[in-house]
Chains A and B, each alone.
Chain A
Amino acid sequence: MQAGIGSLEDLAFILLGITSLTSVLFVILAVKSRDLLMAVIYSAVQSTLYSLLLFLLLAPDIVLVYVAVSVGLLPLLTIMLVKKVGRYET
Chain B
Amino acid sequence: MKLRNIFFIALIAFITFILLIPTLLGSIGVIPPKDVRDIAKLYLYLTYNQYNRSLWAASPEAVTAIVWDYRGLDTLYETMVFYTAIIAALMLYSEILGYRDIVGGIGLSFIVKRGFSIVLLAIIAVGFSTILHGMLTPGGGFQGGAIVAVAPVIGIIVFSRRIFDYSKLSYKYLVALRSIALIGIVLTPLIPIIVTLGNAFIFQNQVKVLARFSYPSTIIDVPMGGSLTFLNTFEGIAVFTAFMLAFLILLYSEDLSKKPLEGEDIGY
Q: Determine the residue in chain A with the shortest Cβ distance to B148.
A: A68
Q: Please classify the interface of chain A as helix (H, G, I), strand (E, B), loop, or mixed, using the class held by over half of its residues.
A: helix
Known: A61-B138, A80-B251. A28 touches B12 (CB 8 A): yes
Q: How far apart are the CA atoms of A28 and B10 in the complex, in Å? A: 12
Q: Is residue B193 within 8 Å, beta carbon to beta carbon, of the partner chain?
A: no
Task: List which A25-67 residues lie within 8 A (CB) of chain B.
Answer: 28, 32, 60-61, 63-65
Partner of A61, one of B8, B16, B143, B149: B143
How many interface residues does B have (CB within 8 Å)? Answer: 24
Q: How far apart are the CA atoms of A80 and B261 in the complex, in Å? A: 18
Partner of A64, one of B147, B154, B243, B250: B147
Q: Is residue A18 within 8 Å, beta carbon to beta carbon, of the partner chain?
A: no
Q: Say how far A46's CB is from chain B's closest CB, in angstroms.
A: 14
Known: A28-B12, A61-B139, A80-B251. A68 touches B154 (CB 8 A): no
Q: Determine the residue in chain A with the shortest Cβ distance to B153.
A: A76
Known: A61-B138, A64-B130, A80-B251. A73 touches B146 (CB 8 A): yes
Q: Is residue A77 within 8 Å, beta carbon to beta carbon, of the partner chain?
A: yes
> Which residues of A are in contact with B by a Cβ distance under 8 Å?
21, 24, 28, 32, 60-61, 63-65, 68-69, 72-73, 76-77, 80, 84
The 28 listed contacts between A and B (C-beta, < 8 Å) are A24-B12, A24-B16, A28-B9, A28-B12, A32-B8, A60-B139, A61-B138, A61-B139, A61-B140, A61-B143, A63-B138, A64-B138, A64-B139, A64-B143, A64-B146, A68-B146, A68-B149, A68-B150, A72-B146, A72-B153, A73-B149, A73-B150, A73-B153, A73-B243, A73-B247, A76-B153, A76-B157, A80-B250
